[in-house]
Amino acid sequence: MEEKRSLSERDQAIIWHPYTQMKTAGLPIPIVRGEGVYLIDENGKKYLDAVSSWWVNLHGHAHPHIAKKVAEQAGTLEHAIFAGFTHPPAVELAEGLLKILPPNQAKIFYSDNGSTAVEVALKMCHQYRSNKNQQRDKVLAFQHSYHGDTFGAMAVSARSAFTAAFESLLFDVEYIETPNAGNIDKLIKYLRENAAEISSFIYEPLIQGSGGMLMYEAKGLNQLIGTCRELGILTIADEVMTGFGRTGKLFASDYMEHKPDIVCLSKGLTGGTMALGVTSATQEIFDAFLSDDKLKTLFHGHSFTANPIACAAALASMDLTLSQETQDNIQRICAKHAAFALRIQNNPKLKAVRQTGTIIAFEWETGDDTSYFSSLRDNLYQFFLKEGIILRPLGNIIYILPPYCISDAQLDYIYAKIEQALDIF
């Protein structure tokens, strides 16, 4: 029998999509191919992927170098149990990451995605205290934070519409403001007065992504991290979004003199090809788990820990990220964004224009309806889709977070369409 329904209709009959109200959602767009910055649907329509497919893609879609390395690895060793065993891609990737991560990072723990990288970081910190018989269990996070969708990661994220249904099951977290010249003294005073109870502090360095691409200065964060380290508060840099060049440097942590105890990576880690998470830690954290007492073991692991194909994708992506061409592209995008920000910043329809590195965000003036669920959001989303651009707004905030291979002409096209949208909406 010939299948008469379209791919989108077959999907809609049986698939439950993420962050999607299935009652009102339209048919999903059927993507059959990717090439450079474009996703291409079954009718050949091209979509410029200006948000790097939820912030994961670094070098464009179906990149031949990554594809080749993935294919080679799949034909050599697709997976092996990672307790008691190891393999070349896991070791080479750990060695490669430790060369570029902050110099105090010493050990690599693999998991599956950004949320699991955060879960592992939280468990490392909590068990560090218990292994050392310390009664410090308060966790600090920033207001408007986002660290993932599993329960621990939700707990350290800001309470919001996304966590509302689960609130009674989430552990308590102390939320502090992101630092600025006006509040830094107050924040440091708070840390000093409460340090005895505080176990750890988790933060998205410089940019709070899901919170609305909110940006803050390195100077205050550096002071906070320095104070935490002085007071023995463990610091977790969630670089799941900011890692691998997004902020203009390899890691956002590179902007700070004081370094975190733990770093979480995912998203761009494999260039956006495969799911993989990494939690790196200092020697000091690792050492707190060394014991003749088996109860001091870090009891965490996933079936696909250090999947060789995912590690091979990450190694291939790292070749590309560290190339001069990509480093030049990152600086080129930063400069283009800065020039566009200058041109557009006084537009009366915009409440704010923010840029950090390759990420630029535009906050629409909306009167009082500023919610994630506003109709402006849907109208902007549909407008850009029609123009062949994927720009998925966060409420009234549009942002560009592009693959690094995006050309000047492609950036100019997006800028022009944003200016057009500012005239219309």
Ligand X SMILES: *Cc1c(COP(=O)(O)O)cnc(C)c1O
Interface positions with ligand X (CB under 6 A): 113-115, 118, 146-148, 204, 209-210, 238, 240-241, 266
Tokens (6 digits) for 406: 């995006």
Q: Which CB sits closer to ligand X, 149 or 336? A: 149
Residues ≥6 apart with Cβ < 8 Å to 127: 288, 289, 296, 298
Q: Residue 129's CB: how many other CB atoms inside 10 A?
A: 16
CB of 249 to ligand X, least distance (A): 17
172 is annotated as an active-site residue: no
115 a known binding residue? Answer: yes
Q: Which of 38, 110, 146, 399 is catalytic?
A: 146
123 a known binding residue? Answer: no
19 is annotated as an active-site residue: yes
CB of 394 to ligand X, least distance (A): 11
CB 28 within 8 A of CB 17: yes
Q: Which CB sits closer to ligand X, 115 or 127? A: 115
CB of 111 to ligand X, least distance (A): 10
Q: Which CB sits closer to ligand X, 148 or 395? A: 148
Q: Which CB sits closer to ligand X, 210 or 355? A: 210
Q: Which of 259, 267, 336, 417 is catalytic?
A: 267
CB of 114 to ligand X, least distance (A): 2
CB of 157 to ligand X, least distance (A): 8
CB of 413 to ligand X, least distance (A): 26
Measured distance CA(127)–CA(288) in Å, rounded: 9
Q: Which of 4, 19, 172, 294 is catalytic?
A: 19
303 a known binding residue? Answer: yes
Q: Which CB sits closer to ligand X, 288 or 398? A: 398
CB of 210 to ligand X, least distance (A): 6
146 is annotated as an active-site residue: yes
79 a known binding residue? Answer: no
399 a known binding residue? Answer: no
Measured distance CA(377)–CA(383) in Å, rounded: 10
Q: Which of 238, 255, 259, 417 is catalytic?
A: 238
Q: Which residue has the closest beta carbon to ligand X?
A: 114
Measured distance CA(121)–CA(97) in Å, rounded: 17
Measured distance CA(358)–CA(322) in Å, rounded: 16
* Short-list 218, 335, 236, CA closest to 279: 236
Q: Which CB sits closer to ligand X, 18 or 182? A: 18
267 a known binding residue? Answer: yes
54 a known binding residue? Answer: yes
Q: Which CB sits closer to ligand X, 49 or 238? A: 238
128 is annotated as an active-site residue: no
Q: Which residues are annotated as a binding site?
A: 54, 114-115, 146, 238, 267, 301-303, 392
> Active-site residues: which are they?
19, 146, 238, 267
Q: Which residues are annotated as a binding site for pyridoxal 5'-phosphate?
A: 114-115, 238, 302-303
Q: Which residues are annotated as a binding site for substrate?
A: 54, 146, 267, 301, 392
